[in-house]
Amino acid sequence: MDRKNRQWLLARRPQGMVSADDFRWVETAAPTPAEGEVLVHNLWLSCDPTQRGWIAGDTYLPAVKIDEVVRSFAVGEVVESRHPKFQPGQLVQGLFGWQDYACVKSGTPSSPSHLPPGVPIETAMSALGLTGITAYYGLLDVGRPKPGETVVVSGAAGATGSAVGQIAKIKGCRAIGIAGGAEKCRWLTEDYGFDAAIDYKSEDVGARLRELCPKGIDVFFDNVGGEILDAALAREREELRSEELSQPAHPARAHGRLHHP
Ligand SMILES: NC(=O)c1ccc[n+]([C@@H]2O[C@H](COP(=O)([O-])OP(=O)(O)OC[C@H]3O[C@@H](n4cnc5c(N)ncnc54)[C@H](OP(=O)(O)O)[C@@H]3O)[C@@H](O)[C@H]2O)c1
């Protein structure tokens, strides 16, 4: 069957803000899967901050090459399979890129994996996907908050931050979010159950943290770095700071109960 594959390729490495000229649109025929490969028809693409890094240069993955399809998480439907574990009609997720059809293989960075049965695609790509996993393990494995402790999260209205605040609440913590703008802050406290929100665009973050965390911050989950990270480190609970200073600088402890993805 002739299948047209619309693709966005990386035309050049962006300088500063990403622009449409950094990408190039091409139309080709969809590939035919070889032995062991699966042809996936993309249904949903995920838009993640990490993609900015992938098109800029090498990160934890090699950089997307110029003239290569832009890398992206996606969910799609198997339309042809030459792999025994995948059948046409099944929903799969993986790094399928900005294109209609991806020809992918197990054991590679773009390896497909089945969607959990019965889980809506949006949920599989968000709360039960990479974002939820990042929030869950970052907060619970690295942050290790105890009930009653104060968890502060930056980028709190974002994908990861909003999940972190909600998990903190489920674990019986006090959740304070830092976000840009009154509307996002209202959303955090009224819709997402955060105990308080700081609008870093109109408020003094350091002063508000002193007010809201008089005994200091127990766990800071950082999504943004920079001045907000500095302000939060200055409010880290005194006992934690001295505990860290008295410990040898083991890499697992060096971040203490500070999480930066
Ligand atoms: N999503 C994932 O699966 C995942 C996995 C691993 C790591 N991470 C990392 O986690 C972090 C957050 O990712 P995300 O997917 O949650 O992003 P996101 O939904 O895009 O949220 C990021 C938020 O950060 C805020 N922000 C941006 N620049 C800022 C600045 N200079 N100062 C203060 N706030 C700023 C913006 O909100 P305001 O409007 O409030 O400023 C933005 O909406 C990123 O560092 C990302 O690389 C994410």
Structure tokens at 153: 């999260």
For residue 76 the two structure tokens come to 């799609």
DSSP track, 148-160: T-EEEEESTTSHH
Average pLDDT, the chain: 91
DSSP 189: H
Q: Which atom of ligand 1 is nearest to the CA of 155?
A: 24
For residue 256, the model assigns a pLDDT of 41
Q: At what angle do helices 130-137 and 159-170 cross, to 10 degrees?
A: 50
Query: 176-194: per-residue pLDDT in tens?
Result: 999 999 999 999 999 999 9
What's the CA-to-centroid distance between 252 and ligand 1, angstroms?
A: 23
Looking at the chain, how many residues does it have? 261
Q: Is 160 in the pocket of ligand 1 (CB under 6 A)?
A: yes
pLDDT tens-digit readout, 17-47: 999 999 999 999 999 999 999 999 999 999 9
The DSSP secondary-structure symbol of 147 reads T
The DSSP bridge partners found for residue 166 are: none
Q: In this predicted structure, what is the pLDDT of residue 110?
A: 77
Per-residue pLDDT for 255 more than 70? Answer: no
Stretch among 159-168, 227-236, 246-255 having the lowest mean pLDDT: 246-255
- Distance (Å) from CA 248 to ligand 1 centroid: 31
SS3 of 211-245: the string is HHCCCCECEEECCCCHHHHHHHHCCECHHHHHHHH
Structure confidence by residue, pLDDT tens digits, 77-115: 999 999 999 999 999 999 999 999 999 998 887 789 999
Residue nearest to atom 37 of ligand 1 (CA): 155
pTM recorded for the entire structure: 0.82
Cα 162 to ligand 1 centre (Å): 10
Alpha carbon of 158 to ligand 1 centroid (Å): 6
Condensed to tens digits (0 to 9), the pLDDT of residues 111-156 reads 899 998 899 999 999 999 889 999 999 999 999 999 999 999 999 9
CB 49 less than 6 A from any atom of ligand 1:
yes
